[in-house]
Chain A
């Protein structure tokens, strides 16, 4: 597309689609503001951009100038960032149209998008189910065909898990591949902006645009943007590892059948398949739920009613103001994680929890290095243990909710890239499988995903 009239038509059509899918509660931007902004963006976009006229929605924890950035939280209600995230600046420069802000679990803490102060997002296939989270709004908009791609963010699987549950593609890049400037901090050593797309190609081309060096983020690697690989004829030459810890005896039978079908396809496509072991996998969720809340308790200390968003008045002194604002402004899940994080960092518990978890993280990262050192190019695993679950099913039991990230958190702990793509259905609901690759070898991941996407029966029952 390089015709301004087509870009304008694309902008208006995207605004119409957002209105038509309002019942999903996936987009937090009001329809009038969105339409006005989209039209202005289409008129301002330069036709030479590689994403010219492409509507891309953005998760609400990524700073934008046009729309408020609330992180799905009451504590940031109406908050407008004075600057824009580097990823969004790059999208605009490439001619993409920012199609509003998407609903998410508050401060990206959750796996179902039920923990948003602005109401839960519905699964586009079944309104009684969750779309996953925390980037559930982005996943639902892509799955509903509103946008071809959307930005999400990952701390423990928040792009791949909703991508899997909604039947779309989700890429989590290597830590340091994409600038975190303008991504509201949750767990800074884990956070990365990722992309959800209706196909591997859509997700990959958005990733290639937002990737690359950024002097505003010292944790962003000094590298050129990702170059997209060509679509391969087969998987000839790939050595794919199957980690046995990701296929426990009690794995959901439909998930197992879908994965077995994919493994047969790998062989048919000429790949070598090897069983490997990542022995510390079973400790990953526990490790994650120490480190991420610890970092969150520090990162979220800044929301105190003095600098950001609304303040809850009536307090007698400044500390009472902080406590009242944070007590009323944060939702239950965020409060719980802040308290867990404060607990594991407090005197007397630091060694038993935080320090030990740091050591476990090193062991989990070493497991991956050992597997790759033995000649494996990529690992293949299920993305989630089940298909989309019922809304409310796991709300009362935080540990059960946390376990829905069991197959995704390891890549975040090790800082590795991973991509989830649809591999089948279970009673009509999508199932996802993921490749995990070596650091900064996203091109290999994408190449393998291209090859698998061509042959996998993604919409048939497993």
Chain B
């Protein structure tokens, strides 16, 4: 199986990844090789009765549904240019209106 350049670009759009025109030929060639290799699993007869294997506990344990403070990597003061008394300081709305007018 061979993956065309257009198919690679379509998949890249779906995956939200830019692919440069220079990288495209090698990427298409390598993807084709990988997909050819993995396609060997289709040589095993269809096993419709086989249930997918899922590792881990038989049943998912849920946590207690409660609101907890979520830690931040940085304090909120680092996220905004101006921060005082626990509030982000922003221009007054009137200023925007004047600028627009």
Interface of A toward B, CB cutoff 8 Å = 79-83, 175-176, 189-190, 215-216, 218-219, 221-222, 280, 283, 285-287, 289-290, 297, 301, 304, 319, 322-324, 326-328, 330, 332, 335-336, 338-344, 346, 352-353, 356-365, 397-399, 402, 413-415
Contacts and interface: CB of A to CB of B under 8 A. Distances in A.
22 contacts: A80-B74, A222-B61, A286-B37, A286-B38, A287-B41, A289-B37, A290-B41, A326-B16, A327-B17, A330-B17, A335-B27, A336-B31, A339-B11, A342-B11, A342-B15, A343-B3, A356-B41, A358-B53, A362-B53, A363-B47, A364-B53, A402-B34
B62 A340 contact: no
B82 interface: no
A176 B41 contact: no
B34 A219 contact: no
A55 B38 CA distance: 41
B95 interface: no
Interface string B31-44: 10111011111101
Interface in B13-35: 13-20, 23, 27, 30-31, 33-35
A222 B11 contact: no
Contacts, number: 147
Contacts of B35: 340, 343
Contact of B50 (A82, A340, A359, A414): A359
A361 B61 contact: no
Contacts of B57: 176, 218-219, 221-222
Given A322-B16, A358-B52, A343 B11 contact: yes
Contact of B11 (A319, A346, A352, A353): A346
Given A80-B73, A80-B74, A328-B18, 8 more contacts: A222-B61, A304-B16, A326-B18, A327-B19, A330-B17, A339-B11, A356-B46, A362-B47
Given A336-B30, A362-B51, A218 B63 contact: yes
B16 A176 contact: no
Residue among B17, B51, B57, B72 facing the most chain A CB atoms (10 A cut-off)? B17
B86 interface: no
A425 B11 CA distance: 44
Interface of B: 3, 7-8, 11-20, 23, 27, 30-31, 33-35, 37-42, 44, 46-47, 50-57, 60-63, 70-74
Contact of B40 (A176, A286, A402): A286
Contacts of B50: 359, 362-363
Contacts of B42: 352, 356
Contacts of A221: 56-57
A361 to B, nearest CB: 5
Nearest to A364: B53
Contacts of B37: 285-286, 289, 399, 402
A83 B68 CA distance: 14
Contact of A361 (B3, B11, B40, B52): B52
Contacts of B14: 342, 346
A108 to B, nearest CB: 17
Nearest to A327: B18
Nearest to A356: B41
A441 to B, nearest CB: 15
A186 to B, nearest CB: 15
A323 B15 CA distance: 8
Given A286-B41, A326-B17, A346-B11, A359 B52 contact: yes
Contact of A343 (B18, B31, B46): B31
Contacts of A402: 34, 37
A371 to B, nearest CB: 16
Contacts of B71: 82-83
B11 A336 contact: no
B94 to A, nearest CB: 29
A340 B60 CA distance: 29
User: What are the 7 closest A-B residue pairs judged by CB atoms, nearest first?
Assistant: A327-B18, A415-B55, A175-B55, A358-B52, A362-B53, A82-B73, A219-B56
A344 B42 CA distance: 13
A360 B44 contact: yes
A359 B50 CA distance: 6
A280 B11 contact: no
Contacts of A286: 37-41
A414 B57 CA distance: 13
A218 B38 contact: no
A352 B8 CA distance: 18
A82 B23 CA distance: 36
A76 to B, nearest CB: 12
Contacts of B23: 332
Given A327-B20, A398-B33, A283 B41 contact: yes
Contacts of A335: 17, 19, 27
Nearest to A353: B38
Contacts of B51: 362
Nearest to B70: A82
